[in-house]
Structure 1
Amino acid sequence: MNRLFFRFFVLVMLSITVATFVVYFAMSRLFGDPLDDIARRQAAAQIFLLEQYVDQAPADEWLVRLNKVREVTRVNIELMPLAGARAQLPARRQAALERGDVVLDPAGKAFFRRVDLKGDRYIGSADEVIHARDLPIDIGLALQMEALRYVIVALALLIPIALWSRKHWQGLQALSSVADELGAGKLSARASFGPRTSIYPLAERINHMGERIESLVASQENLLHSVSHELRTPIARLEFALELLRSKAPDGVLTPRIEAMEADLAELNALVGELLGMARIGGARSVPAAPFALAPALRECALLLDYPVELEIDDAIGSVNGNRRLLLRAVGNVLRNAQKYARARIVLSARRVGTAALEVVVEDDGAGIPEAERERIFEPFYRLDRSRDRSTGGFGLGLSIARKAIEQHGGTIRAERSMLGGARFVLRLPVNGRE
């Protein structure tokens, strides 16, 4: 947000600077160089004496009056050949000199003017030029005055813009905070602005969006809870009915069918459990966190898996601040996923990444995950194994639950290609709850 307004002010300043140069060059092209006009005003007294006193003298007194002016002024006035004056002036000013105009040289603090055009002052006067030097011309002061004018104009523009922008900046900062809270899961966050504020319509739309999201999430959670809990009742009834059926059935007659139905019920019961777990994680706005040692927790998680796991964990990785049960469930889900597809090896490792984060890595030597599928496998109910038989089992919820649990702690999870040939899951966690 600060960068946005900084760029805006830089753009305004650049626009004012460009406008200043454009004005200067436009005025120079249309009406002459403004510096010449300033220099002419500063040398007005000497030009006035020349034009109104010296030039008004009769022909035989012209040089006398010029000498009198030279005696009473500090300006160095001398006569020089016309050819010498032409050599000192740029080509664009020579035409004015030929016309008999006063040609100023602001940088040299001087001016040139022909004595006359017809030689009426004295013999040879048509080929001579008055060169006045050391005029009281101070272009530096003039430039400072012009710069001050432009600074005043710039301030007159920038101060109202700054005051106007400050209100917008404060409002947008408040909206940004509300958006951060909504993104962090605090769906009750709302923006509070008066109807007369300029960003009130935007704030109202964000509030409506927050209300809609909160309503949809609450509806989804309620539906998921309700459906899951309602399914528990018929599942319990079916389990009771199967027990009665097993007790009443002749020995060995219906046992295979009963076992198949019990397996289906167990699968359905597990699905309901996964749905409830997913609902609890998705509905949690925040998770209770506390520091715990990561290395022993990961070893405990590996022991719960009915499969040999190679451990590459150093006790020096230290502690992590989070919900121990939730994080171990995420790691356990990833390990169980690896167990389904591993041929012989599963490797669980953990390492520090700088001082603010750590990574838990689960690798297997299975068939791996196609690159195009590596993001989709974290979607609920998405499975690489389309057959859904019990050789691989699962409902496509384990990795989705793992991602939700990791994201609740401000971390990330991604799938890669393992050096073992199979899949490699990287769980990145901030040490203090947020990176």
Structure 2
Amino acid sequence: MRPRTLEELVGQQHLLKPGSPLRQLAGNAQTGPAGPSSIILWGPPGTGKTTLAHVIARGPGRTFVELSAITAGVKDVRRVMDQALSDRDLRGITTVLFLDEIHRFNKAQQDALLPGVENRWVVLVAATTENPSFSVVAPLLSRSLLLTLQPLEEGDIQALLERAVEDERGLAGTVDVEPEALEHLIRMAGGDARRSLTALEAAAGVAWGESDGGADARVRLTTAHAERAMDVAVQRYDRAGDQHYDVVSAFIKSIRGSDVDAALHYLAKMIEAGEDPRFIARRLVISASEDIGLADPTALQTAVAAAQAVQLIGMPEGRIILGHATVHLATAPKSNAAYNGLNSAIADVRAGKGRGIPSHLRDAHYPGARQLGHGKGYVYSHDAPHGVAEQQYPPDDLVGRDYYVPTGNGSERAVAERLERLRGIIRGPQPQRAKDGERRAP
């Protein structure tokens, strides 16, 4: 059922507009004086990368060579390049080199492609499921067009399956698919065309096996047949690639946004994809301090306890603890005041502010320290009422600077009230307190 022309291709319409590079590569048009450019196709499995390579190779005056980065080496690449150069110069034929899984090539192997790509001995069509910015060398990226393929929409998968049911290259009208069965196959495919066709074929096999009709009778494919062929949806998740970072980013942002339901969805997605539960737990610990802080001081305790518990009991039971911590953090009041306060203090330090330490706060225990004035005038806080004494603690140029500005959320509301009283005692009577915006570090 592999499409033979761009018109048969489903999905990826954003790459197939009139005049687009793919249209030109697949047709007679030249994209430049030296011929068509090489391209890198980046997208999930089953979205049409190999199909596009075959369609491009069908253009006039072209020969198609396919290599897999899993099995090919530098010698194979150089052999193809030498043959492509001969074909171009002696026969006027352009070689389309399709290299699947290019991210599996190391730097030396990818460098071997550069002469052929730069001199246009070949039209390289490279496919990868990993972000080329991290997996493809910069010189090769700069000499190629990067085209991003998207997971197929449900409508695209439906059109593909309906065509496969009737087409002579597919089931050739030998089965009638119930609408509910078709919906199940579409939903379970997860935007993967290859997976959807495999599931359809398997479901048809189940239906044929249970059929009592003759060889020419149309078989009815039911939801039960589809469920037996595919009962678990595909999870698009690469623990070393974009999905790893994108899903956990959505997870943390959902917790920060207090959407507990979305947070649990992304947690489930990571768990089902086999993500390291310790990685999830570490991100929860960070979120507890960065996004919740003193608005709910128990959030960090829960997150740390969850991280320890997950290491203690492992999976699959560890998912229960991760769910517990996720619900706590997502529903907790939020404050990033402590996080912002530290960032502001770091910014001042990097800017050279905070020169010196007041002499009364310096260490006075070693011999000769007293003679230097260290510790002189220091007020022991426990000797003052309520354990708080009027005294200068920051360097001279940072007196009055407020780094920590608590919110009115959750427990931090009480902290804000107490902090105002503490600063009033420690700093003593102020002629005119600066506004918060003036006190905060830039």
TM-score band w.r.t. shorter chain: under 0.3
- Max radius of gyration: which structure? 1
Could you tell me the TM-score, scaled by structure 1's length? 0.22
Q: What is the TM-score with the length of structure 2 in the denominator?
A: 0.21
- Between Structure 1 and Structure 2, which shows a larger proportion of strand residues? 1
